[in-house]
Amino acid sequence: MKTSSGHQAQPRQESFLAPEAPDQPSADPAGHRAAPPAGPSSARDTPLSVPGSPLAVRMRPRSLDEFVGQEHLVGPGKALRRAIEQDRLGSLILWGPPGTGKTTLAWLIAGTTQAHFASLSAVTDGMADLRRVIDEAKRRRQGWAAERVGRGHGEAPPEAGPRRGTGQRTVLLVDEVHRWSKAQQDALLPCVEDGTVVLVGATTENPYFDIIAPLRSRLRIFHLEPLRDSDVRALLRRALSDPDRGLGDLGLTCDQAALEQIVALSGGDARMALNALEAAALALPPESQGVITPEVVAEAMQRRQVRYDRAGDDHYQTVSAFIKSLRGSDPDAAVFYLAKMLAAGEEPRFIARRMVILASEDVGNADPQGLLVATAAAEAVERIGLPEAGLNLAQAATYLATAPKSNRAAQALWRAQAAIEAGANTEVPLHLRNASFGGARSLGYGQGYKYAHDFQGAHLAQRHLPDGVDERFYQPGDQGYEQEIAARLGRWAAQSAGDGRPVRERAG
């Protein structure tokens, strides 16, 4: 069987744990950093632990024991933790919001594996970089590798002497892997399939949308959640007390209210929390006596950054929650998610369009006024703009959330569409056809048509559906104004009962 890229597929390895690899030398013939012997709870130095880096970088955990949060993935006895500690890792994707530990976890894998470790960024590295890493991984694994001697930048490459490879595996970290194109992701398929490369991808976007299906089927996907408040609180206290990597040598204290303020504003993002703590520490006035107060935190953070990407996963999740809150008649939740979208810079016309759609789909004829309110809000957005148009959106959202609900009009359309798809007759009956052109009457167009206003109540029993189509598409419900519609249809049905002729025809 061939993959979508045309490569011959190898038998699928079903187990998440990779086969045990033999002991490998730490020397790397290609010039990349290879893993020295390391125990399961220690990590070698990484580019992320350089002195002078931001606090969030300096405080990255150096072992799984220091890792805070994500107990469902790396807690004691969990499958992912066992795979890391036993150096039997299969290809995987770490998916989660910013500041939840994706990159940190990937570098902890780098610090524990005996395999060769290489890293690429999908933001700055392209196909040529990927192919180079894959080619070197193949040579390293299949038996021959070019042993390169060190050379200065810009110097011609020296002669390379071949040496026997040792079958060493390559663990490849690709940060922001969702940014790679389909062709770049396709290039990973054969080497992930046959185990030449153990892929560790990190992404903030939903891999079910942004990672191609053939590659996704060869990976395990691990979802990292925003950190709990207790986790963020623990990280902040660790940073305040650590004299080597944190702020412990500055003799600072953090007011409990200030600490809770940072926790609340971080939204489960460890990086944001540590950056805020560092900013507050740097913003301390001389007279503060080293105490970080809520006022200092407010000045340092200015405004909370809402995690939201207008083209990303959180955009769709928030919009989904907004619509479902409107449909579920929860005005508090609806206005909350509206506020979140506005704070994150969502396009207000998009929000208004979604409410116009919902007004017909979910409120419908239970409250026909809902469509007018939603349409008026959309027009107000065009005329006024933000921030004032947020008031119009809030009025429409709360109105729609508290309106009676009916999707019977939408269901009527869906039933009719299904009938047409199933082959229902779509020919317009002759008596309903336009007879305004010469010769129409001779074709039978318009003959026998009865003008509704010539009959009592402007209603008569006249067939309007095509021959053979007898389904009742619109069936009003019992909510709001549809109760009156249902009663009216019932009266018309009773009036038209019998031989199907009108009850009384007005004199002409």
Do 355 and 443 lie in a common domain? no
For the record, the structure tokens of 186 come out as 């396709």
Whether residue 237 sits in one domain with residue 130: no
Q: Are residues 179 and 204 in the same domain?
A: yes
235 and 218 within one domain: no
- The set of residues, in sequence order, having a beta carbon less than 8 Å from that of 350 and lying 6+ positions away, is none
Residue 365 shares a structural domain with residue 448: no
* Domain identity same for 385 and 412: no
DSSP string, 172-234: EEEETGGGS-HHHHHHHHHHHHTTSEEEEEEESS-HHHHS-HHHHTTSEEEEPPPPPHHHHHH
Same domain, 233 and 323: no
Could you say which of 202, 223, 244 is where a domain stops? 223
Cα-based angle 391, 394, 397 (whole degrees, multiple of 5):
155
For residue 382, the domain's CATH number is 1.20.272.10
Of 223, 256, 271, the one marking the end of a domain is: 223
Quick check: is 158 in a domain?
Answer: no
DSSP assignment of 395-433 equals HHHHHHHHS----HHHHHHHHHHHHHHTT---PPPGGGS
Q: What is the pLDDT along the chain (508 residues), one digit of tens a residue?
A: 444 444 444 333 334 444 444 444 333 433 333 433 333 333 334 444 555 789 999 999 988 889 999 999 999 889 899 888 888 888 999 998 889 999 888 888 888 888 888 889 988 888 899 999 989 888 888 754 444 333 343 444 444 433 445 567 888 999 889 889 888 899 889 889 888 889 999 998 889 888 999 999 999 999 999 999 999 999 999 999 999 899 988 888 898 999 999 998 888 899 999 999 998 888 888 777 889 988 888 887 766 566 656 556 678 888 999 999 999 999 999 999 999 999 888 889 999 999 999 999 999 999 999 999 999 999 999 998 888 999 999 999 999 999 999 999 999 999 999 999 999 998 888 888 888 787 877 888 888 888 888 887 888 888 888 988 988 999 999 999 999 999 988 888 887 765 444 443 433 3
Residue 76 in any domain: the answer is yes
pTM of the full structure:
0.59
Number of domains into which the chain is organized? 4
Q: Give the tens place of pLDDT for each residue, 326-355.
A: 999 999 999 999 999 998 888 899 999 999
Please name which of 115, 118, 117, 130 lies closest in space to residue 168, comparing C-alpha atoms: 115
| Residues 198, 74 within the same domain | yes
Return the closest-CA partner of residue 14 out of 91, 87, 100: 91
CATH number of the domain at 53, please. 3.40.50.300
3-state secondary structure 451-462: CHHHEHHHCCCC
CA–CA separation, 261 and 209 (whole Å) = 35
Q: Is residue 98 part of a domain?
A: yes
Which pLDDT tens digit goes with each residue over 369-399?
Answer: 999 999 999 999 999 888 899 999 999 999 9
- Which residue range(s) make up the domain with 446? 408-495
Residue 292 near residue 253, CB atoms below 8 Å: yes
* Residue that is last in its domain, among 279, 301, 323: 301
Asked if the structure places residue 35 within a domain, the reply is: no
Is there a single domain that holds both residue 178 and residue 263? Answer: no
d(CA 115, CA 200): 13
Based on the fold, state whether residues 89 and 194 are members of the same structural domain. yes
Q: Does residue 217 sit within a domain?
A: yes
Name residue 485's amino acid: I
Same domain, residue pair 178 and 322: no
- CATH number of the domain within which 233 lies: 1.10.8.60
Within a domain: 25 = no
Same domain? For 385 and 285 the reply is: no
Q: Is residue 21 part of a domain?
A: no
User: Which CATH number covers residue 420?
Assistant: 1.10.3710.10
Does residue 16 lie within any of the structural domains? no
